[in-house]
Amino acid sequence: MAIDASEVRKVARLARLAVDDSAIAATTITIGNILAMVDRMQSVDTQGVPPLAHPLEAIQRLRQDEISETDQREQLQSCAPAVEEGLFLVPRVIE
């Protein structure tokens, strides 16, 4: 399935990635080639075949709803770019 540049831009934005104007043509071709290869999947009939999400079809293990972790906020925030009073700082979100 062919893809055009505007679709690539749209998908990139969904993924919060910027594609340079200088790169968009080449990126569109490459993504198109990958999708063309992937389209080979359409050659096989999978009518009635259940999708397989987990290779051993395990189900999600549950545990008791008990507190088992300790507060490690300082340690875990030590690698953050901008922190104040235990909160992560970001540019203004609400206008």
Query: Is-contact 12 19, C-beta < 8 A?
Result: yes
3-state secondary structure of 84: strand
2 contributes a contact to other proteins by CB under 8 A: no
Site string for other proteins, 5-24 (x = CB under 8 A): --xx--xxxxxxxx------
Cα–chain-centroid distance for residue 28? 19
Looking at residue 74, the DSSP 8-state letter turns out to be H
What distance separates the 2 farthest-apart alpha carbons in the chain?
A: 57
Select the residue interacting with other proteins from 2, 22, 52, 84 (CB under 8 A): 52
C-alpha span between 64 and 15 (Å, rounded): 35
67 contributes a contact to other proteins by CB under 8 A: no
**Smallest separation (angstroms) from other proteins to the CB of 21:** 13
By the criterion CB under 8 A, which residues form the site for other proteins?
A: 3, 7-8, 11-18, 27, 30-31, 33-35, 37-42, 44, 46, 49-56, 58, 60-61, 63, 72, 75-82, 88, 90-93
